[in-house]
A and B are shown apart, each in its own frame.
Chain A
Amino acid sequence: MANLTLVQAINQALLQEMEKDDRVLLLGEDIGSNGGVFRVTEGLHERFGGDRVVDTPLAESGIIGTSIGLAMGGLRPVPEIQFEGFLGPAYDQLCTHAGRMRSRTRAGLTVPMTVRVPVGGGIHAPELHSDSPEAIYSHNPGIKVVMPASPYDAKGLLISAIRDPDPVIFFEPKRIYRAFREEVPEEEYTIPIGKARVAREGNEITMVSWGASVVQCMNAIEESGRDIELVDLRTINPLDMDTIATSVRKTGRAIIVHEAPSNCGVGAELSARIMEQCFLHLEAPVQRVTGFDTLMPYYKLELEYLPDAERIGKAIVETAAY
């Protein structure tokens, strides 16, 4: 057991899966000899060679479209898109083909592909390197969307994603790539996709979040001194409503925290489902603490935009007092 950062946990997952299953290959920009711009694929090129860790031309649609072909051909490609802001060109291949292939061919052809994408803000990056598009892809049936908030979860989820017979977008919150360490077992293990985690039990309020916001939530809960239950979603699509609904029926109050803008965000979907499934238990309206319905600002104002412990703390006070 070692204390690993998110980057190291992901690296370990990739290494172990590639050793175990030679159908797994990685492709993307700068992932080979450079080890990836965040060094997530560090050392893999040396270990497995240029046939399994492939530097591709600079073409996101090309990377994903080719990966779809690789997956259709029986391999387990793990392409990397360098930043979530560059998923755009690949949107068509993802939604027009990857998410549809199994159903439209009645399982004649399937796409067991895992797309790794660094996501989210808070690292003082240039523009288009700090967004959160998880809602966009969750809205497209056929694509699973996963976002771990800790090294332990990241390794288990990534292994599950690679082994999943369907396309998975694996979002890696770059803000916590190196922010903290956690004990990660050396041996292989999986965490089921579609299952949330109760990170902290409580009775007053249910707080639901994912990605780097989870840490913000933890800080806010500590500061508030209240008995708040924290649910780390881990999988955005499909949602684990059982865990969430059970929790909200217990507490009667819910706060959802995410970086992505409010309008049509995943928080809206959760609110609707909480309303449907916990209606008669609600003591307060479901509160969402999210990014504003604006562009993600350049990094000078970044911290004003991102939900932080202070904003979450206010929401806690309001919701508790409602």
Chain B
Amino acid sequence: MAMKQPDDRSHFLLPDLGEGVAEAELIDWKVSPGDAVAEHQTLAEMETDKARVEVPSPWAGVVKDLNGSAGDIILVGDILVTYDIGSAAATSSTPAPVAAEPVTEDAGTVVGNVSETLSMPSSFQRNPEPATSDDDGCRALATPAVRRIAKDLKVDINTVAASGRGGRVTASDVNAHAAQPVAAKPIAPAMQPAADDLPLATRVAQPIEGVAERIPFRGIRRKIAQALQHSVQTAVHFTVVDEVDVTELDRRRKGFEELLGRRLSLLPFVMTAVCRALREHPAINATVDDFVEEIQIRSVINLGCAVDTDHGLMVPVLKNADELSIVQMADRVSEVAKGCLDRSIDREDLTGGTFTVSNVGSYGGQFATPIINYPEVAILAIGRARERVLTKNGAFYAGLVLPLSLSCDHRVVDGAEGARFLNTILRSLEAPEKLLPAV
């Protein structure tokens, strides 16, 4: 096919020698550098898949360099020969070869290709079939005609209450929505963030199908920031705080350490107490779906445990945490923490939580106002345990006190309920014989 050669005839690109040939083997040069060649004079003999061919010079000129030696494979579109364009070339009157490029009136349409071969971009190489993403169940159902009405009235059709068959938004729904006075509208829940802005914790409306995936760690900070912002803007936070006398618990903890010959912190004990409490207060073991305006009381207890990494906060989730023993809890926490730090953790282990515990105390601090791991409805921050002088029945003693801060989503959890929940945790921790097996 016609090959676009340079206008200054400084070099000759190997053309397609026969219907889709992509390359040819150089058999023999028929000219040498410095030779004056006439138009149509044979430059080289080459061999393709289809035939042995002679390649003639498209114009008269003086050969400068030969680009290859016998046996080389030369691709169509590569330079075959360069010409010395400074010197007085032969006096052939043949004009520069004009490639049959279609000239178009629009910008950016067909341009003649140098090479006829089309190669497949590497980004299209076959991958294993990706998991099918779930149906987007969050958009309104409406016919095109109704959508036009919404568009004309500048109504976001996804915010219109649907009264039509099959959950459809009808034209009258749209009109009614548009007719509402602005002040009477309830505080609309914020829109769900776009899929790739998801917090690393669960998104209720879309349970993730079990695909193990390595998470790219770019942009984690960004994701966390967006998630926190969304949580604060959506859930109405209140925090109730209290201190727990864990003197007795700590004594038992140390007893366990000796018995088992390993280290155990207070954390797994607290997490166990939390699980017990969640069983007693199921309304707190819940997630909220603002889209369909629904609270989902969860039957499983999946405890998130905040881990601080150099990329920011991550919250790995311990599934069915209430079934774990103290030791298992401790081990699992170590495991997931390690997974977060070395980024080997599975995506599955970062989602599906129903309640989160954040052990800020390990870094310091007493009380906090933790931010809920949306769409959960509550979060418990554990402060640093410290020795304090305490009283009991009028007598002083040196004890260990653990500060706890519980934030709840006030839309879902009443103040009283939050306080009661915290109290349940307190009582477990202060009377550990119920919590723990006898040591």
Residues in A lying within 8 Å of B, measured CB to CB = 252, 279-284, 322
Contact = CB atoms under 8 A, between A and B. Distances in A.
Interface in B116-159: 143-145, 147-148, 151
Interface residues of B, number: 6
Nearest to B171: A283
18 contacts: A252-B145, A279-B144, A280-B144, A280-B145, A280-B147, A280-B148, A280-B151, A281-B144, A281-B145, A281-B148, A282-B143, A282-B144, A282-B145, A283-B143, A283-B144, A283-B145, A284-B143, A322-B143
Contacts of A283: 143-145
Given A281-B145, A281-B148, A322-B143, 14 more contacts: A252-B145, A279-B144, A280-B145, A280-B147, A280-B148, A280-B151, A281-B144, A282-B143, A282-B144, A282-B145, A283-B143, A283-B144, A283-B145, A284-B143
A284 B164 CA distance: 14
Nearest to A282: B144
Nearest to B144: A282
A271 to B, nearest CB: 13
A279 to B, nearest CB: 5
Contacts of A280: 144-145, 147-148, 151
Contacts of B144: 279-283
B303 to A, nearest CB: 48
Nearest to B143: A283
Question: Sorted from nearest, which 6 A-B pairs have the closest CB atoms?
Answer: A280-B148, A282-B144, A283-B145, A279-B144, A280-B144, A283-B143
Contacts of A279: 144
Nearest to A252: B145
Contacts of B143: 282-284, 322
Nearest to A285: B143
B163 to A, nearest CB: 16
A7 to B, nearest CB: 44
Name the prevailing secondary structure of the B interface residues.
helix
Contacts of B145: 252, 280-283
A196 B185 CA distance: 50
Name the prevailing secondary structure of the A interface residues.
loop
Among the interface residues A252, A280, A281, A284, which one has the most CB atoms of the partner chain B within 10 A?
A280
Contacts of B148: 280-281
Contacts of A282: 143-145
Nearest to B152: A280
A279 B145 CA distance: 8
A279 B143 CA distance: 9
A283 B151 CA distance: 15
Among the interface residues B144, B147, B148, B151, which one has the most CB atoms of the partner chain A within 10 A?
B144
A133 to B, nearest CB: 33
A30 B148 CA distance: 58
Nearest to B149: A280
A281 to B, nearest CB: 6
Contacts of B147: 280
B254 to A, nearest CB: 72
A223 to B, nearest CB: 26
Contacts of B151: 280
B215 to A, nearest CB: 39
A143 to B, nearest CB: 25
A322 B143 CA distance: 10
Contacts of A322: 143
A319 to B, nearest CB: 12
Among the interface residues B143, B148, B151, which one has the most CB atoms of the partner chain A within 10 A?
B143
Nearest to A322: B143
Nearest to B151: A280
A152 to B, nearest CB: 36
A284 B143 CA distance: 7
Nearest to B148: A280
Nearest to A275: B144
B357 to A, nearest CB: 51
B180 to A, nearest CB: 24
A322 B144 CA distance: 13
B197 to A, nearest CB: 30
Nearest to B145: A283
A75 B148 CA distance: 54
Interface in B147-182: 147-148, 151
Nearest to B147: A280
B100 to A, nearest CB: 15
B217 to A, nearest CB: 42
A272 to B, nearest CB: 14
A283 B145 CA distance: 5
Contacts of A284: 143
Nearest to A280: B148
A64 B369 CA distance: 88
A310 B239 CA distance: 69
A279 B147 CA distance: 10
A279 B151 CA distance: 13
Nearest to B146: A283
A280 B143 CA distance: 8
A287 to B, nearest CB: 14
Interface in B224-266: none
A15 to B, nearest CB: 48
A41 B148 CA distance: 54
B170 to A, nearest CB: 11
A151 B151 CA distance: 47
A134 B10 CA distance: 55
A284 B144 CA distance: 8
A280 B147 CA distance: 7
A283 B143 CA distance: 6
B141 to A, nearest CB: 12
B48 to A, nearest CB: 30
A322 to B, nearest CB: 8
B148 to A, nearest CB: 4
Nearest to A281: B145
Nearest to A278: B144
A252 B143 CA distance: 10
A252 B149 CA distance: 13
A129 B144 CA distance: 42
A311 B292 CA distance: 40
B134 to A, nearest CB: 24
A252 B147 CA distance: 13
Contacts of A252: 145
B243 to A, nearest CB: 63
A252 B145 CA distance: 8
B211 to A, nearest CB: 34
A1 B294 CA distance: 74
